[in-house]
Every structure is written in structure tokens, then in C-alpha cells.
């Protein structure tokens, strides 16, 4: 277990316990979420180390690894994903300013986004820690991701775009990853990081039942302020914050189940809608956000 005595992002020692959240996916255990009073990042305290965390992903319900369509929420996820893959491709091309280039997707799961970029003519490379997901990527798309350790063997300045779609919150070697990613970008390359946002309204509604805590798999719980601090420590600059409007509905549906023991789709959709409404004027309040980052 990893016990932090200082913030894993800014290293400040002004940290305190904030809430206790349950692992609803695998272990049913409670984990403590702590808060940094300096950079406002939150983090899961006493998390399993890198060699032990794998057991907490061993579930057919963990969609990014299994690609499961079982159940209403997972079926809806796949339906929405078709739209979000296209919107991510458009965002990337617009921000990078190139129709084709070299892309690295870290934590590529079963390869759906890399497949989308490959079809658009991009040269692709993917890293994925889970062997089942790597096998699925090969079966579904003839894409062959490599293990994450390869990240530190790639040539500097190789990629016009690097993406981490809901991945950074899972990475034990947080600062080492960001430092290496900065080195891998071309001078005008862009990094895209999508993460849940605990400062959103749906997080405020559901509190300890908010599904995006996803303890202990989510090691960190980023605020926009905390993300900017992390990037600045490695010579990176936040260029834009983009909303992920669908996530508030998906997270609210899971949160309803976690809170009440059963789903309440109308209430979840209402809460998701209100969360998005409150974020209309400030995308930094969206349930999940995409940070567009340059050197």
C-alpha cells in the first residue's frame, strides 16, 4: 500500500482526509480520499502499489478492458462512444493543425480510438497495461498495443499528438510519465488529457457515491487548478479546456446505482443535465474535461 505524507502532485504537506468512497466494481472495500490544501488535487490514500493494483481491474464490468455490452448502462456507453470517437478525432486534428501525423495513445484499451485515427490516415502507436485489452484490440481492429514500459524507450520528438483518455488518474508514476510525454512531443505537438472533474456539480450532488471516484483504480482526482500545477512543473502549458458533455449522464447513472442500490434513469439524466447546465458558462465545471496541452 502507498501512504502519502505529501501531495503526489505538488509535494506540499498540507493534506487532509476528505471522504471515504467504496470500490463498487471489485473489492467492495472503503478507501479514503484526501485533499491537498495547496494545489487542490485529491488522491486516494493507501492505494495498492503498481504490482498489486491489477486485481482491482479483474472484472467483466470494467468496460475499457472487457468492451462488455452487458446491461443498459454499458450498452448506452457503446452507443455514445461512436459519436465521441468522431468528436475526439475532429478535436485532435483541429488542435494539432494537421490532417495526418504520428499519434501515441497511452492506455488505449481495446483500441477503438486508435482505429478511428488509423482510418483517418494517421500513423498509430498504443500502450496498454492490460493483457486482455491488448488481445481484444488485436481481435477487433488488428491493432497491437505494447506494454506501458515501452513509453520510456520511444524516441524524443516523435509524436504530433499524444492522448490519454481517462488514463492519467490510473498512472502510478505520475511525474515520470508527464516528463517523458513532454519529451516525446514534437515542438508544436499537443497532449490531450481527459479526466473526471471532482469540482463538477454531479460530484457535489453524489458526494462519496460519485462513481468517478472509482477507488482504488483512480489514484488521483484532479481539479483544473491541480492539473495546471502538474503541467507547469514539467514545462507544459494548458491551451484549452474542452467539455465532455456525455460523461455527466453516464457518471450520474452509475452514481444513482451506487447510492441507492438500484438505477434511477430519469433522476440520473436530470442530475446530469443540471450539471451540464451549470458548466455551460465555465467548462472547467464539467463532469469530465479534456485538457489540450502544448509545450
pLDDT digits (tens, 9 = 90+) for 86-122: 999 999 999 999 999 999 999 999 999 999 999 999 9
284 backbone dihedrals φ, ψ, rounded to 5°: -70, 0
Q: Is the dihedral of CA 204, 206, 208, 211 positive or negative?
A: negative
> Can you tell me the distance from the alpha carbon of 91 to that of 289, in angstroms, rounded to the nearest whole number?
13
Give the helix ranges, DSSP H, for the chain.
Answer: 63-66, 72-96, 112-119, 131-141, 174-184, 201-206, 224-232, 247-260, 265-279
Nearest alpha carbon to residue 245 among 227, 222, 272: 272
- Summarize pLDDT for 19-36 with one digit per residue, the tens: 999 999 999 999 999 999
Crossing angle between the packed helical segments 72-96 and 247-260, to the nearest 10 degrees: 150
| Cell numbers describing residue 39 | 494545489
Below-70 pLDDT ranges, the chain: 61-79
> Can you tell me the distance from the alpha carbon of 68 to that of 137, in angstroms, rounded to the nearest whole number?
13
Domains of the chain: 62-294 (3.40.50.150)
Amino acid at each position: 500500500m502507498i501512504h502519502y505524507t505529501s501531495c503526489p502532485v505538488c509535494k506540499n504537506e498540507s493534506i487532509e482526509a476528505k471522504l471515504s468512497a467504496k470500490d463498487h466494481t471489485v473489492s467492495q472495500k472503503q478507501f479514503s480520499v484526501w485533499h491537498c490544501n495547496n494545489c487542490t488535487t485529491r488522491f486516494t490514500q493507501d492505494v495498492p502499489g503498481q504490482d498489486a493494483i491489477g486485481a482491482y481491474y479483474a472484472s467483466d464490468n470494467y468496460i475499457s478492458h472487457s468492451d462488455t455490452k452487458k446491461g443498459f448502462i454499458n450498452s448506452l456507453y457503446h452507443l455514445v462512444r461512436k459519436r465521441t470517437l468522431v468528436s475526439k478525432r475532429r478535436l485532435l486534428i483541429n488542435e494539432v493543425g494537421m490532417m495526418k501525423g504520428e499519434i501515441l495513445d497511452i492506455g488505449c484499451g481495446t483500441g477503438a480510438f486508435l482505429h478511428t485515427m488509423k482510418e483517418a490516415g494517421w500513423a498509430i502507436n498504443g500502450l496498454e497495461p492490460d493483457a486482455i485489452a491488448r488481445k481484444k484490440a488485436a481481435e477487433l481492429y488488428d491493432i497491437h498495443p505494447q506494454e506501458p514500459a515501452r513509453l520510456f524507450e520511444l524516441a524524443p520528438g516523435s509524436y504530433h499528438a499524444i492522448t490519454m483518455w481517462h488514463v492519467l488518474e490510473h498512472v502510478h508514476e505520475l511525474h515520470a510519465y508527464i516528463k517523458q510525454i513532454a519529451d516525446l512531443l514534437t515542438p508544436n505537438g499537443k497532449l490531450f488529457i481527459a479526466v473526471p472533474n471532482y469540482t463538477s456539480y454531479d460530484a457535489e450532488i453524489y458526494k462519496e457515491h460519485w462513481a468517478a471516484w472509482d477507488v482504488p483504480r483512480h489514484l488521483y482526482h484532479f481539479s483544473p487548478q491541480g492539473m495546471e500545477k502538474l503541467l507547469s512543473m514539467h514545462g507544459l502549458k494548458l491551451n484549452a479546456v474542452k467539455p465532455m458533455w456525455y460523461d455527466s449522464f453516464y457518471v450520474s447513472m452509475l452514481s444513482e446505482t451506487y447510492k441507492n442500490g438500484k438505477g434511477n434513469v430519469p433522476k440520473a439524466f436530470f442530475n446530469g443535465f443540471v450539471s451540464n447546465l451549470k458548466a455551460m458558462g465555465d467548462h472547467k465545471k464539467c463532469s469530465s474535461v479534456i485538457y489540450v496541452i502544448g509545450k
